[in-house]
Amino acid sequence: MPIDRPTDLDAALASLSDVPSAHLLAGGTDAMVEITFDQRRPEHIVALRRIPELRGYRVDDDELTFGAMLTYTQVERELASTAPGLAMAARTVGSPQIRNTGTIGGNLGTASPAGDTLPWLLALDARVELRSVRGSRELSLADFVTGPKRTAREPDELITAVRVPRVEGPQHVAKLGPRNAMVISVAMAAVIVDTTNRRVRAAFGSVGPRPIRASDAEQQVSDAIDWDALTCPDDAIVHFADACAEASQPISDHRSTADYRRHAVAVLAARSLRRCLAA
Amino acid sequence: MSSASTTTRDRVRDGLGQDADRPDGTPKVTGGFAFSSDLHARGMLWGRTLRSPHPSARIVSIDTSAAEAMAGVTTVVTAADVPGKATYGLEHADQPVFASEVVRYQGEPIAAVAAEHPELAVRALEAIEVEYEVLDPVTDPEHAMAAAAPIHPDGNVVRHLPLRHGDVEATGEVVVEGTYEVGMQDQAFMGPESGLAIPADDGGVELYMSTQWLHVDRDQVAACLALPPDQVRMTLAGVGGAFGAREDVSLQVHVCLLALRTGRPVKMLYSREESFFGHVHRHPARMWFRHHADRDGQLVKVEARLVLDGGAYASTSSAVIANAVCFAGGPYRVPNAQIHGYAVRTNNPPCGAMRGFGVVQACYGHESQMDKLADALGMDPVELRLKNALKPGDTLLTGQVITGTAPVREVIEAAVAHPLPPEPSDDDPALALPGGAGLTAERGDVRRGVGFGVSIKNLMFSEGFDDYSTAGVLLELDGHGQAIATVHCASAEVGQGFVTLAQQITRERLGVDQVMLRPADTAIGSAGSSSASRQTWMSGGAVELACDAVREALFERAVARRDLALDDADHPLFDLRDGHVVEAGGSASIPLVDLLAEGPIERIEVHRHAPTDPLDEDGQGNAHVSFAFAAHRAVVDVDPDLGLIRVVQIATGQDVGRALNPRAVVGQIEGGIAQGVGLAVMEEIVIEDGKVRNPSFTDYLIPTALDMPEVLATVIEQPEPGAPFGAKGVGEPPTISSTPAVAAAVRAATGLALPRVPIHPEDIALTPARDG
């Protein structure tokens, strides 16, 4: 099995253009498990760790850009004040060893319903930058993730970065699992009280085939919030929680039940919003 | 004990009672230790096992021709290639080496291959064509008991054990009843099954294997291979944990068969996923109890019906159900009892030995009942337990009188005497709340609860089993003229620290600093299993006997030198001190090295515990050797809305007889509590229609450091009569009553009945709170 180890972006895109069936290797936290379990037998691998263009992040006045090879550890350590919700999400991923190697681009590329960074990115209307030798394009995260572990990425395309608007206001990310660390989420919530745009943003993971945005719930609670005092009537929070649960599409599997997941969405939504408003 | 007066405890470095370092400690921490998965032999092949995807099926045909034709695939074996006995098993040889006509559980071996590369072996498995006629699995033990057509020719009830004690018609003024369930726990050792078989010139085979009991493996392998036992020579390879899961044969027969067929060394190494199908698990249990007491809280009678799901094959189910039945009353005086225990065969994964061995399930039941009884009586649960606590001279449900120590009151009082953790505060770190790193709760969302559990566990093998261990000790001069002792014992070091203890005993008894250990192998007699909390007592005792025989020989040499009369009464005239044989009067001494200049001394001794009897038709008899007791107090924080639990603290008192290596004892206590906490709040093999849904550490969750509570431990040292050095086994008790203690604490925090462990989040979050 050939392994290309390009050292710049153009070389990576050329490799991918030559062998569009190649499997992309970022941190390997998904790929190596799949290969070990014999669920995936790549015929060709393009390894991305040596490409400097993918590794950084950029903080602009109105936008944050995260390189695809940004690791969870970097997010946790370097972006805790700039992107607090993303840092909270990154902190919940696996063990320190996994966080040292796992990347945001990998989380996007795998597009698991339980991807830990996806709810926060979705809540912020993230845009995924894809490049190939044919050029580059941007897709909204909602359009990028087309199903469980399915994306709109063309075989010769590389995820190069993901962008979110920079917004003011408190945010909270909560991940629910039956163990206190190192667990795949049973439900995940990202709530952002976006004071810049005076709207609540809320998205959920592990409760549907794709990360779910609770748009109706957002709209209703945004109207109920006193944006000057940053307060919200209790019944509106309860209503928001119920509407989020309503928006979820959970299933029962060996990790949990649909009923519990739906219940958890409501609890996490209400608690996350209350934490933001109390912050 | 007499040994105390004749040894030199104060002077021996790293002798008994001291925190001696493990000889394998540094290499294990630094990565230098060779586990069985690290084994390698020049020119070795890789073996893999083909397993049934179905829990119940008839095998219509097996076609291995395509696999055999593959380049680099050396051989493929099926049931037809097993030269000897077609089945094996610890108590009943009912498990086929390879299934040939029917498969009775998902993962049952069908064939094995040997290939030049592990990946090739995987592809060879894919090339084997097996046609199955899939059948409906029998997965409910109650249905299995009633089934007209048994799953196995031996029948579906592996053992029905009734127990009748005292007046079975007796009733109490206060009666509480409950039905409880325990899910299927896995031992979850870190080092998956692995072994290396090397064919020998004499037609036999050398097997290097991580296991718990070399000789019982050897005998089963030899029978299946139609070899005399001395042509199967086993050596213990580095064991990455066991907890009961290595007591049954896994790949032993397969790998030896492949090596003999190919004439080349063959290595097998299970993946983590395969490991879940490759060893037995803890029996799931359904248990009904009715406890009777008088108004003062004195227990009058215990009634119980215990059903353990043994899965497709017998394994150790007969002994596991015996433990569940014998100890269904707990560590309490119960004058009357009527109990029925059933170990049942189903198409679920086979279950067998795991730390606590049947007592874990029973203890969760009886301790849940004790809390229910305390509630009905309006009595403090600790007071109720103290009121009924067994003491020496009391009679067990089996009619056996406790002749050894039974510090039940002491362990309870020690557990309760530990300080409670600080009250919850808003300053607590977020990671310390239920949900941990997920930041799902704030302090205000959380409620605290406290619960108790107390347990009794039999030590060593019961019911008349001829339980023994063998050890050899060689004392000689090394290349520098210094005395060096070498211990040889087949006791499997599975992490419990026998290697440390063997050195401590030898240093203590022979007064030498240098103690080497030979690899554990079958060149010496059996040491029995590293299970049932038995190796300190059994093999520790054998090492002591061998050391004493060496001492005897040394004293004889001293006597010969000094031309003194030998005193038959244990040589009170001599002692070993500071590398000298010293006369009791203290005037004369002979250097050990001078005596050893005459030549090395080697002695091999066998140690047996006191004999036990079988249980009679009423479950009565002196079936057990000795008993160990533990009490646990658990403090938990629960987030009721999400059903998440954080175990904050476990305080324990444990009856250890004597702590021969206090640090190792505390290690066993902490590790045992981790497994007990795991069973209480997360560990479960999820089975659906006979199929395992979570065979990975991604989905079979065991506690992480963030899930592990603070442990406060007090060891109660009351030397056990008849036990070498007065020491009781310490490995199992911590696992047993920690589970019901945590469950009770969660009940206290939530007000819910929670009749099943592990407690899953939805059991709390989606269950309406009890009235009142």
Q: Where are the extended beta strands (E) located within chain A?
A: 3-4, 23-25, 45-47, 57-59, 63-67, 127-132, 135-140, 145-147, 150-151, 158-165, 171-176, 187-194, 199-205, 212-213
Give how far A221 is from chain B: nearest CA, Å. Answer: 21
Give A58's pLDDT tier (boundaries 50, 70, 90). Answer: very high
B169-185 residue pLDDT tens? 999 999 999 999 999 99
B614-643 residue pLDDT tens? 999 999 999 999 999 999 999 999 999 999
B266-320 residue pLDDT tens? 999 999 999 999 999 999 999 999 999 999 999 999 999 999 999 999 999 999 9
Q: Who among A178, A184, A275 is closest to B760 (CB)?
A: A178
**Token pair 């310390």 in the structure block, residue:** B432
Q: Range(s) for CATH 3.30.390.50 in chain A?
A: 171-278
pLDDT over 70 at B3, yes or no: no
B710-750 residue pLDDT tens? 999 999 999 999 999 999 999 999 999 999 999 999 999 99
Is the CB of residue B288 less than 8 Å from the CB of residue B417? no
- Give residue ranges of A with CB < 8 Å to any B CB: 33, 36-38, 88, 91-92, 172-186, 254-257, 259-260, 263-264, 267-268, 271, 275
Q: Who among B438, B688, B706 is closest to A174 (CB)?
A: B438
Give how far B642 is from chain A: nearest CA, Å. Answer: 6
Q: What is the pLDDT of residue B11?
A: 58
pLDDT over 50 at B2, yes or no: no
Give how far B771 is from chain A: nearest CA, Å. Answer: 22
Which residue(s) pair with B49 in the sheet?
Answer: B112
Question: Domain A3-165 maps to which CATH number in 3.30.465.10, 3.40.30.10, 3.90.550.10, 3.40.50.2300?
Answer: 3.30.465.10
pLDDT over 80 at B412, yes or no: yes
- Pull the structure tokens for residue A187: 């439900």
Annotation: CATH topology of A171-278: Enolase-like; domain 1 (3.30.390)
What is the rounded CA–CA span in Å between residue B745 and residue B739? 10
A144-155 residue pLDDT tens? 999 999 999 999
- Give residue ranges of B with CB < 8 Å to any A CB: 122, 271, 273, 431, 434-442, 445, 641-644, 646, 681-682, 686, 688, 693-694, 698-699, 701, 703-707, 760-762, 765-766
Which of B51, B642, B647, B763 best probes binding to A when mutated, by most A CB atoms within 10 angstroms?
B642
Q: What is the pLDDT of residue B310?
A: 98
B700-710 residue pLDDT tens? 999 999 999 99
A12-51 residue pLDDT tens? 999 999 999 999 999 999 999 898 888 898 999 999 999 9
What is the rounded CA–CA span in Å between residue B444 and residue B433? 10
Q: Range(s) for CATH 3.30.465.10 in chain A?
A: 3-165
What is the rounded CA–CA span in Å between residue B625 and residue B610? 7
Dihedral sign of CA atoms A154, A159, A163, A169 in order: positive
pLDDT over 50 at B8, yes or no: no
Closest listed residue to residue B49, CA positions, set B226, B246, B271, B239? B271
B218 three-class SS: helix
Give the rounded distance of the alpha carbon of B577 from its chain centre. 37
Give B478's pLDDT tier (boundaries 50, 70, 90). Answer: very high
Q: What is the pLDDT of residue B564?
A: 59
Instruction: Write a three-state SS string for B606-643.
Output: EEECCCCCCCCCCCCCCCCCEEEEEEEEEEEEEECCCC
What is the rounded CA–CA span in Å between residue B558 and residue B552? 10
Q: Do B699 and A254 touch (CB under 8 A)?
A: yes
Q: What is the pLDDT of residue B770?
A: 55
- Pull the structure tokens for residue B740: 């019901």
Q: Do A175 and B439 touch (CB under 8 A)?
A: yes
Q: What is the mean pLDDT of residues B200-207?
A: 97
B386 three-class SS: helix
Q: What is the pLDDT of residue B771?
A: 45
Q: What is the mean pLDDT of residues B502-530?
A: 96
Q: Do A256 and B698 touch (CB under 8 A)?
A: no
Q: What is the pLDDT of residue B6?
A: 41
More confident residue, A68 or B3: A68
Residue A141 has a CB neighbour count (10 Å cut-off) of 25
Which residue(s) pair with B57 in the sheet?
Answer: B103, B134
Q: Do A88 and B439 touch (CB under 8 A)?
A: yes
> Which ranges of B102-197 would DSSP assign to H, the alpha helix?
118-127, 141-146
Q: How far is CA A173 from CA A88, A156, A208, A232, in A?
A: 6, 33, 17, 19
B330-375 residue pLDDT tens? 999 999 999 999 999 999 999 999 999 999 999 999 999 999 999 9
Is the CB of residue B492 less than 8 Å from the CB of residue B4? no
- Pull the structure tokens for residue A26: 């970022």
Give how far A264 is from chain B: nearest CA, Å. Answer: 6
pLDDT over 80 at A131, yes or no: yes
Residue of B nearest to A272 (CA): B440
Closest listed residue to residue A212, CA positions, set A243, A239, A169? A243
B663-676 residue pLDDT tens? 999 999 999 999 99
Is the CB of residue A56 less than 8 Å from the CB of residue A105? no
Domains and CATH numbers, chain B: 2-33+468-608 (3.30.365.10), 410-446+626-772 (3.30.365.10)
Q: What is the pLDDT of residue B565?
A: 55
Q: What is the DSSP string of B452-516?
A: EEEEEEEES--TT---EEEEEEEEEE-TTS-EEEEEEE-B--SSS-HHHHHHHHHHHHH--SEEE
Q: What is the pLDDT of residue B772?
A: 37
pLDDT over 60 at B1, yes or no: no
pLDDT over 60 at B7, yes or no: no
Closest listed residue to residue B678, CA positions, set B30, B36, B188? B188
Q: What is the mean pLDDT of residues B127-143?
A: 97
Is the CB of residue B38 less than 8 Å from the CB of residue B194? no
List of chain B residues whose C-beta atoms are within 8 Å of the C-beta of residue A264:
642, 761, 765
Give me the percent of chain A exceeding a pLDDT of 70. 100
Q: Who among B122, B682, B693 is closest to A178 (CB)?
A: B682
Closest listed residue to residue B452, CA positions, set B740, B732, B755, B674? B740
Element (H, E) at B746: helix B738-750
Mean pLDDT of chain B, nearest integer: 95
